[in-house]
A and B are shown apart, each in its own frame.
Chain A
Amino acid sequence: MSVAGRVGDLVKGDPHADRVVPPTGFTARLTVFTSAAMAFLAVFALALSMATGRLADRWAEELARSSTLRISAPEGQVAAQTAAALRVLETTPGIASARALPVEETRALLEPWFGPDLPVEALPIPQLIEVVETGEGYDATGLRARLQAEVPGAVLDDHTRWRDPLVDAASRLRTLGLTALLLIAGATAAMITLAAQAALAANDQVIRVLRLVGAKDSYIARAFVRRFTMRALAGAAAGTVLGMAAIWLLPDADPAGGFLTGLGFRGAGWLWPLLIPLLAALVAFAATRFAALRSLGERS
């Protein structure tokens, strides 16, 4: 029989075969609850690894393309040094554009830290120049040497110093999220195996009678496997919906920090969590089948 046919049979079931094992309220509720809880957690682990993945990409890309030139000079010389720095930058290969930030933009950058009433003019705040690279990038060492000679008050910050650890942290978070997903799948398999074993033990006499009337192991196993698979599917579907709803309702973090990203799914990313119930059903199927065939083999 084809795989699709077998899956079809499993979902359709055989109404007679389903009844030969008495319903067991306790293990049933246990399986549904476990699958729901695990699916809920899995949605967050998935959201975490997708969000950190996005973060790592964005930081790596955006910060790599921009640098900042800071000019700290005695009050009278700021304008002259800024102009000199801009001239140097304009003639440096690999730099697409350079722009001195007007006071309002500097104020906007500082606002989250000091509040809106900041008298920027009264503070010794350096002039900032935003530098955007071309795709190839520029030679930072060479630029620093030229600046030192021509603009003594300029400090070039090409962001590598703090970008690398951030990107590193983000990709580690993504790995952690994926590890959490694997652990959740493993824990689900373990718990469903235990529940299935409890159900098999509780139905010892039923299994005995089924064997006496000529039932094969595969038939008996199927009665349990189908039940646990459907329960895991139902539980995980509920847990996934709740988890997705919880993430949908999270406040959006994007406007607050320019390059931060919310813990959520974007666009087609919302389709990924829909795989969780199917995976849970698959895990339950494998775990119950393994438990059933092993326990039936042991009691012969």
Chain B
Amino acid sequence: MQSRRAIASPGPLGQNDRRRQCGVPGVIELDRVAYSYGGGELFSDLSLALGPGTFHFLTGPSGAGKTTLLKLCYAELRPTAGQVRLFGEEVRAMDRDRVALARRRIGVVHQDCQFLDHLPLKENVALPLTVSGRGGAEDEDLAALLSWVGLSRQAEQLPPELSGGERQRAALARAIILSPDVILADEPTGNIDWEMSQRLLALLVELNRMGKAVLVATHDLQLIRAAKAQVQARVLRLKDRRLVAAGADL
């Protein structure tokens, strides 16, 4: 697995790992947060801290608010009550530039992927590099990353030409290309087969071992079980407007 090492080792894509690994207190903190889209409250009085090196799963019935909770974590939404802190900074006090800088340290795999449909896959994956002014990725690094998620052949294809699973793998590649401090993944294994989801999990576990905080929202109990064999993962359940630790059966 030579290509895998290219991603995990400090290189152009990972040069800040060591510095960031130590000394960041709560990477993302939600403090007594409530949120409502205008109707009733989706959840209230919800607290959660993602520290460096932690691994969390977030489960709960469809419509419980998992995606909403993740959106609060990357400041796409602002809480209706309570506080959200990103890297120690209160979200409400951050202007758009600060939010942009914080998002470069948070890799997100969106449930609906969010690609630029006019750009080929490899440029979509390199987009965080492009917008942060670091130009495109080094070709070998990008090739290594794409080959790790099994998308070397699709590098030149446009996102609408990809299968659901290919899009999700591409989304993960884009989420980690800046070597972020946190990885938030919303149903990352929704459309992919068992073998590929194991590879994806292995990548997340490896990133976690490098000190990154990982939060995965998923319905996939098998995935959670497989993960618990490899890392110390906390499983949280969003139910009846509350966040609770899941039962011991998981």
The residues of A with any CB-CB pair to B shorter than 8 Å are 14, 16-17, 19-20, 22, 206, 208-219, 296, 300
Whether A214 contacts B115 in the complex (CB less than 8 A), given A19-B123, A20-B127, comes out as no
A208 near B114: Cβ-Cβ < 8 Å: yes
Prevailing SS type, chain A contact patch: helix
Is B108 within 8 A of A212, CB to CB?
A: yes
In the assembly, what is the distance between CA of A212 and CA of B116, in Å?
11
Residue from B126, B128, B136 within 8 A of A214 (CB atoms): B128
Could you give, for residues 102-128 of chain B, a 1 whenever the CB lies within 8 Å of some chain A CB and a 0 otherwise?
011000101000111011000100111
Could you list 27 A-B pairs, sorted by A, with CB under 8 Å?
Answer: A16-B123, A16-B130, A16-B135, A19-B119, A20-B116, A20-B119, A20-B130, A22-B118, A209-B127, A210-B127, A210-B131, A211-B103, A212-B76, A212-B103, A212-B110, A213-B103, A213-B128, A213-B131, A213-B174, A214-B104, A214-B128, A214-B131, A216-B97, A216-B100, A217-B100, A296-B96, A300-B96
Instruction: Name B128's closest neighbour in chain A (CB-CB).
Output: A213
User: With A and B bound together, what is the CA distance between A212 and B131 in angstroms?
Assistant: 10
* Most chain B CB inside 10 Å of its own CB: which residue of A16, A19, A214, A219: A214
Instruction: Give Cα A210–Cα B133 distance, bound, in whole angstroms.
Output: 13
Is B101 part of the contact surface with A, judged by Cβ < 8 Å?
yes
Which residue on chain B has the smallest CB distance to residue A208? B114
Asked whether B103 lies within 8 Å of A214 as measured between CB atoms, the reply is: yes
Contacts of B100 in A (CB 8 A): 211, 214-217
The prevalent SS among residues of B at the interface is: loop
A-B pair number, CB within 8 angstroms = 64
Q: Is B132 an interface residue (CB 8 A)?
A: yes
- Return chain A residues, CB-CB under 8 Å to B178: 214
Nearest residue, chain B, Cβ from A22: B118
Interface size on B, residues (CB 8 A): 27
Nearest Cβ in chain B — how far from A21, in angstroms? 9
Whole-angstrom distance from the CB of A5 to the nearest CB of chain B? 15
Contact of B114 among A16, A20, A22, A209 (CB under 8 A): A209
- Expressed in whole angstroms, the minimum distance between the Cβ of A300 and any Cβ of chain B is 6
A206 to B124, CA, bound (A): 11
Hey, which chain B residues are within 8 Å of A17, CB to CB? 130-131
Q: How far is the CB of B71 from chain A (nearest CB, A)?
A: 10
Q: Are A206 and B132 in contact (CB under 8 A)?
A: no
A284 CA / B132 CA spacing, docked (Å) = 25
Q: Which of A210, A213, A218 has the most CB of B within 10 A?
A: A213
Expressed in whole angstroms, the minimum distance between the Cβ of B37 and any Cβ of chain A is 18
Residue among B100, B103, B127 with max Cβ neighbours from chain A (10 Å):
B100
Of residues 47 to 100 in B, which have CB atoms within 8 Å of A's CB atoms? 74, 76, 96-97, 100
15 extra interchain contacts, Cβ-Cβ under 8 A, other than A16-B135, A216-B101?
A20-B130, A209-B115, A210-B131, A211-B103, A212-B103, A213-B103, A213-B131, A214-B100, A215-B131, A216-B96, A216-B100, A216-B131, A217-B97, A217-B100, A300-B96
Asked if B97 and A209 make an inter-chain contact with CB atoms under 8 angstroms apart, the answer reads: no
What distance in Å separates the Cβ of A202 from its nearest Cβ neighbour in chain B?
Answer: 12
